[in-house]
Structures are given as structure tokens and as C-alpha cells.
Amino acid sequence: MQTLTVDLADRSYPIHIGEQLLKNRELLVRHVRAKQVYIVTNDTIAPLYLPALIELLDGYQVDTTVLPDGESFKNLETLNQIFDGLLEARHNRTTTIMALGGGVVGDMAGFAAACYQRGVDFIQLPTTLLSMVDSSVGGKTGVNHRLGKNMIGAFYQPQAVIADMSVLESLPPRELSAGIAEVIKYGLISDREFFEWLESNLPDLLARDPKAMAYAVKRSCENKAQVVARDEREGGLRAILNLGHTFGHAIETHQGYGVWLHGEAVAAGMVMAADLSHRREAITADELDRIVRLLERAHLPVKAPASMTPDDFLQLMGVDKKVVDGRLRLVLLSKLGEALITSDIEQDLLQETFAACRA
Ligand code: NAD
Ligand code: MG
């Protein structure tokens, strides 16, 4: 097992990364302060991992909420089921909420922890690659509103994250690839060496080799933690984590949420950002090609849908929350392994990118 620390002064917490960690009682209870544990999971993950976890916590008062699976249930109504459960089973202020699941479960359980009795302890047990490398670092929690994704939420840090590579075994292949998109993102924005490691080791990741996976998770979390530690509440730098996301959100929205997975849209969006960066002469044609090839090898889309016109993009990017003062701001590459945030965007080059990146 490897442990890294997300450095946030008195809110610092460890991320434990390894194999069979969900079978390690000592590790699980290390971060539980009293005798009550409340597990939040969903109806896909529960049959796979919940019974063993409950058994392991023998001696504790363990209660659970099993949410229906899906982003469409990430809302206040479903969140209320968690509060109902906590109150009905009389969980008090020293309880510990455990989130057993992907980003949806993690965001909801984390937000429940932030709100329940004004804040109780919270442990993340991420079960998707995406939640291990992305939502487990940074403390963003919340739910969707009818009028916008993640619009109701809080910054709330967990006591610990326990990332068990063994659970990735059951992850559907599309979800695995979607997580790899965010992993590749860290290489692109801040870690050229890691990008090159991914070029060599992608087959091991696709084969879910636990050692390779643990390395990729650790390196991703380190990269994200570094950015977050310098900008916990998204003052500026943290925006580089959104490489490919402005284009990607436009694709997700245009196609209808859920048709493209987030990571898939981010992959195509990162190609667009890289293409524009190449047109601005920040990366070479060869580097652009390497980026596209790596994403393709990870079974990710590298073109925007043919049905999307440049106007569709501009319109959808105009309502993106990353737009400041009505000016389009984009995260681009200043070189391979380094990102910059700019609102100084050449419209003609952007149009060329739209044309070049359409399927
Ligand atoms: P998800 O939680 O919906 O999980 C994807 C699917 O995989 C679900 O059907 C889930 O039930 C299933 N699954 C999860 N683990 C499994 C396993 N081990 N075996 C088999 N099936 C498994 O999706 P996600 O990609 O993990 O997370 C997306 C969510 O995360 C979005 O709501 C997004 O807003 C949020 N998010 C939050 C942050 C943050 O900083 N808080 C960052 C990125 C994403
Ligand atoms: Mg993302």
C-alpha cells in the first residue's frame, strides 16, 4: 500500500492506494472516530462489495443507504434518503459516513456529510477509476439541480480516501476508459514524464494490472493534489484541471447527458484543445499526433460528433460556467506537460479547430 497526503493545513488527509484494501479492517477503522458508521452506495455496487464491508465492520453500528444507480438520481430528493436513514437510525455527530462507489455516490455522500448535523466525518471508498483520480481529491461535493449540474454543493474534505485497485476488476470497460481520459489529462497539463509513462504502459492499464493502476492513480492524485493545494477554492490555477472540459461539456450537452460519458467528451475536448494549441504553435504536429494516438489506444473518441456545428459549440460554450465576463476562457497547452488559461483566443484558429476536429 502507498499513502500520499493531500496537503490542506488542518484539513489535510491521506489517500491510501493499494490492493485488497477494502478487506483491511485496521485500515478502514483507523479513520473512524466513534462506533457509528453510515455507508452510502448504489444498487449496482451494493451486491458486489457491501456485504463484505459490513461484515468487516463487525462491532460497529453500521447502517446503509443504497441509492438507485445513475447521475439522474444525483439530486436533492435522493439526497434526502440519506438524511432520513441517518436520522431514523439515530446517527449522532460523531458518526462516520462512508461513500462506497463512483463519483455520483462520492459527491452525494460527501455533501450529506457536510450538511448532516452541520458536518460529520466522511471517508471515500472510490470504486471507479474516475472517482479515484478526480473526485477523491479536492473536496468538491454536491448534487445537480434541474437547472444545472453540480449547482448545489459544498467544499468538504474527507478524513481519508481508500482506493482499492481490486474493485476496478468489475468496472465496465467504457467506464475504465473514461477514467483513463482524466489520467491522461494530468500528463498533458502538468506532467510530461507521466504522459510518456502512459504511452509505454497503457496496455497494462487497459488490462487492469493492479500495480500499473496503482501507479497511475498515485501519480494522478499527486498532480491534482498539487494544483488543489495551491488553489483550494478555484481562484485561478485550479482551472487548468478543466483541460478539454469546455469543449467536452458542449459535446455532453449537445448529445444529451449520458449519451457520451464525461471522460469520453473530455477526450474529444482535449484533442480540440491540443489542436488549437498546435495552431498557436505551442505544441508540434508530432506531439498533437501522440496525444490523439494515446487517447485512441485507450478506446476514447478523438473527434467531436459530426452533427455539431461550430455555432453549436460557441453557443454551448457561451453558457459554460467557466466563461468569465462574457469572454470565452479556455485551458490550452503551453507545451506538452504544461497548461495555460487564456481568454485571448484567435477566432480564426478556433474555427479551424472546429473544422479539423469534427467526425
Ligand atoms: P458513476 O459514479 O456514475 O459510476 C459509473 C458507473 O459505474 C455507475 O453505473 C456505477 O454504479 C458503476 N460502478 C462504479 N464502480 C463500479 C465497480 N467497481 N464495478 C462495477 N460497476 C461500478 O460515475 P463516475 O465516473 O465515477 O463519477 C461521475 C460523477 O462524479 C459525476 O456526477 C461528476 O459530477 C462527479 N465528479 C466529481 C468530481 C469532484 O471533484 N467532486 C470530480 C469529477 C467528477
Ligand atoms: Mg472531469
What's the mean pLDDT when you consider all of the chain? 94
75 band by pLDDT with thresholds 50, 70 and 90: very high
235 band by pLDDT with thresholds 50, 70 and 90: low
Q: What is the DSSP string of 197-209?
A: HHHHHHHHHHTT-
Q: What is the DSSP string of 121-184?
A: EEEEEE-SHHIIIIITSS-EEEEEETTEEEEEEEE---SEEEEEGGGGGGS-HHHHHHHHHHHH
Q: What is the pLDDT of residues 251-270, one digit of tens each?
A: 999 998 789 999 999 999 99
Ligand 1 pocket member 110 (CB < 6 A) = no
Mean pLDDT, rounded, for 47-66: 98
Q: Is 254 a catalytic residue?
A: no
Closest residue to atom 20 of ligand 1, CA basis: 171
Provide, rounded to the nearest whole percent, the portion of the chain with pLDDT above 90. Answer: 87
Is 352 marked within a binding site? Answer: no
User: Could you say which of 31, 91, 224, 278 is catalytic?
Assistant: 224
- Determine the pLDDT at residue 149: 86
User: Which-ligand-closest: CA of 228?
Assistant: 1
What cell was used for 50?
457491501
Domain boundaries, the chain: 2-168, 173-357
- Determine the pLDDT at residue 8: 82
Q: What is the pLDDT of residues 158-214, one digit of tens each?
A: 999 999 999 999 999 999 999 999 999 999 999 999 999 999 999 999 999 999 999
96 band by pLDDT with thresholds 50, 70 and 90: very high
Architecture of the 2-168 domain: 3-Layer(aba) Sandwich (3.40)
- Determine the pLDDT at residue 234: 64
281 band by pLDDT with thresholds 50, 70 and 90: very high
Closest residue to atom 32 of ligand 1, CA basis: 104
Q: If we measure between CA atoms, which residue out of 37, 68, 67 comes closest to residue 53?
A: 37
Mean pLDDT, rounded, for 106-123: 98
- The yes or no reply on domain 173-357 and CATH 1.20.1090.10 is yes
CA of 251 to the centre of ligand 2 (A): 13
Provide, rounded to the nearest whole percent, the portion of the chain with pLDDT above 70. Answer: 96
By most ligand atoms within 8 Å of CB, the mutation choice from 72, 131, 152 for ligand 1 is 131
- Determine the pLDDT at residue 271: 98
